[in-house]
Structure 1
């Protein structure tokens, strides 16, 4: 039978002293008398004591792990971000620990604690729709752990950010509808607690103003998923003067709008044109295919990870933080083709 490894507790029991005294004696701590130190070292040699390599590794070595907190893995945009993160991380010798908040603040807090407990060396975060307190994220900076925001951020926390120009993207989408002949354009927006939703709404308003089109408040409805997209579109189509174009905050909302328009017996884009946001895998298979803003999620994830690894490997604190914007482009498909 293999003999079990001698531990500090074994030495302590043999000498009639505490384990903490043995530990300090083995390190030649000055608070421990020379006599005790000699006795501990002599018995350790006799018993062939060896320090626990696993424990030392956990205490002293790096984990080469980065953490990710993401709102929804099932969302095409976020899944493409994860692909970019993993490709860059693994090429650099890092593992990735992914936590999903499911758009819940309390889950995001728990995610942060989990990543801290697992000793990640850096963290990438896209905050939830509910988040309005960020103490759980501030603790990473206090512990010297680099933190980078992507897509959605917390303005009150200093740090690096990899984002898109949401104002410009909202402007592009709305201007395209105007150029396609739309005069009455609605916006199915995200919750205004999110800065990205505020900015896309701002871009929408800018395009209307530039074109001399009056902004109509009842044309703006909070609807950021498939079901809400259907409900909001039914509401818009019931107006005395319904819109002839819709800019949706994301593709699922736009697909909900398409469903509602079809159910009403109307045609896209003849009766109403629709533009989505994120250009996900569904935009090519809807009927008609969906015009959408491409956020380039893979590029965002790759860029964020490259920067995070640079921060981890650097021996100095950054003098300035990076605000990097990924360029978006509009993928034009059948849902908004120009009408003669």
Structure 2
């Protein structure tokens, strides 16, 4: 009976690659500042030796190699795109991702985040969280944190967001170029107060600024709604019930746009013949030929990847805050056209 092959260790990898144990450790952790040459050299040796790091050993050295991802609402399909970007980048860097949802408000969010911290996760990605900037600063002082979807800058956490002012401007300018003047924007009103750094606040600001810039300050129309399919359907009825309904709507998110489109379909209202609808997110369903939604692409995969890279840098010791805005792109499909 042959003896069992000895499992390769980090020392074996270092010897094979001709580098120090510390260098191998940095590559394994995806440490900030590791050169591509060093990374390739170490990974080649790992493959040659069949080396696989022990999660237990890593945890005993003070790192669990786990990241907590908090989301407010998993039913928003764009969140799955962000998570895909987070998970892919995390796996490349040797981290596992655990996801928690809290859609019932700030208290539930606080309990969920505390549970993640109690389980010694190395860092947190908070996707469009509730609460004030002061509450986010408190979390950032306790554990490495990146806030995804909220605008910055923070002092003790990093932020990654779409340039929502520019995104709303793309929508308004597009609709105005088609001849629309009565353009409504759906302003999300949720369970908690809208903070100025939240996407709903920033997108509304961008909408108002773009309307004014186009000489349509008298047509500014912020309709309070919910950024959900149900909220979009309710908003559709409210717009149609007016004496002079708008001819186009900037729904704020694709989920709300789906609700508007579904309600118009039920009522037999042609889109874009009688009404133009523009979303925001470019969720996967937006590209389906049955929907073909004109929308703003936030580059969700890229946003998730950037958030993970920043979080790993914070875990590795960077303390200077970083605030990143990802440029949006308008994707024109079949739900926008000239007004009747």
In the alignment, the residues of structure 1 paired with residue 204 and residue 239 of structure 2 have an alpha-carbon distance, to the nearest angstrom, of 17
1:176-325 equivalences in 2 (<5 Å): 176-191=174-189, 193-194=194-195, 195-216=198-219, 220-285=223-288, 287-314=290-317, 317-318=318-319, 320-325=320-325
The structural deviation recorded for 1:170 is 1.0
| Maintained 8 Å contact 1:146/1:312 | yes
Structure 1 gaps of 5+ residues are 1-53
In the alignment, the residues of structure 1 paired with residue 137 and residue 99 of structure 2 have an alpha-carbon distance, to the nearest angstrom, of 16
The residue that corresponds to 1:158 in the other structure is: 156
The residue that corresponds to 1:108 in the other structure is: 109
CA radius of gyration, larger in: 1
In the alignment, the residues of structure 2 paired with residue 139 and residue 246 of structure 1 have an alpha-carbon distance, to the nearest angstrom, of 37
The structural deviation recorded for 1:284 is 2.2
Secondary structure of the structure 2 residue equivalent to 1:289: coil
Secondary structure of the structure 1 residue equivalent to 2:147: strand
CA spacing shift, 1:326–1:112, aligned 2, 3 Å: same
CA spacing shift, 1:134–1:181, aligned 2, 3 Å: same
| Maintained 8 Å contact 2:278/2:295 | yes
> Structure 2-normalised TM-score?
0.75
Measured against aligned partners, the alpha-carbon deviations of 1:68-124 in whole angstroms (never above 9, x if no partner) come to 111223322111111111111111111112111225222211111111111111111
| Maintained 8 Å contact 1:134/1:154 | no
The structural deviation recorded for 1:287 is 4.3
> Structure 1-normalised TM-score?
0.75
The structural deviation recorded for 1:286 is 6.5
The structural deviation recorded for 1:127 is 4.1
CA spacing shift, 1:245–1:226, aligned 2, 3 Å: same
The residue that corresponds to 2:333 in the other structure is: 333
The residue that corresponds to 2:71 in the other structure is: 70
In the alignment, the residues of structure 1 paired with residue 312 and residue 152 of structure 2 have an alpha-carbon distance, to the nearest angstrom, of 21
In the alignment, the residues of structure 1 paired with residue 175 and residue 79 of structure 2 have an alpha-carbon distance, to the nearest angstrom, of 26
Secondary structure of the structure 1 residue equivalent to 2:121: coil
Moved more, 68-77 or 275-284: 68-77
CA spacing shift, 1:118–1:77, aligned 2, 3 Å: same
In the alignment, the residues of structure 2 paired with residue 238 and residue 164 of structure 1 have an alpha-carbon distance, to the nearest angstrom, of 33
- Aligned-residue CA RMSD in angstroms? 2.6
